[in-house]
Amino acid sequence: MVAVGQFARWLFFGKASINYALAFGISLPTALIYLITVVFIAAMIWLFYSQLRFGTVWALALGLIAGGGASNLIDRLALNGGVADYWWLFDISTINFPDIAITIGIVIAIWKLLANHES
């Protein structure tokens, strides 16, 4: 996942805009963004190991979330606190491949948690 996100950044870099905010345009000091990102990735890894009983789908969801987060962290380290966004989303925003992976992973995780809660 991390390699795919970084390859996509390299491939589309000429068309990329650098985003220094968090999700939804939330602006915070760079050090706080790094801290939030690292805590987020650590939480996903902890969730993965604490919930192994959920199986392969759970592993896929958390892998997408942690991998996307790690790829965005690499971007922030390489681009002085920014993330390269290279796909326009309906003239609303720009996103990148790791953002898509994180979103899909969150949707799968919510679905899996709700499915397990109902049984």
User: What span, in angstroms and rounded, lies between the C-alpha atoms of 21 and 2?
Assistant: 20
Q: Are 73 and 1 in contact (CB under 8 A)?
A: no
Task: Render 34-81 in DSSP notation, one character per residue.
Answer: HHHHHHHHHHHHHHHHHTGGG-HHHHHHHHHHHHHHHHHHHHHHHTTT
**49 vs 62: CA distance, rounded Å:** 10
pLDDT tens profile 49-79: 776 667 888 889 988 988 998 899 898 898 8
pLDDT at 6: 60
As a whole number of angstroms, the distance between CA 55 and CA 92 comes to 36
Its pTM stands at 0.77
83-85/87-89 β-pairing: unpaired
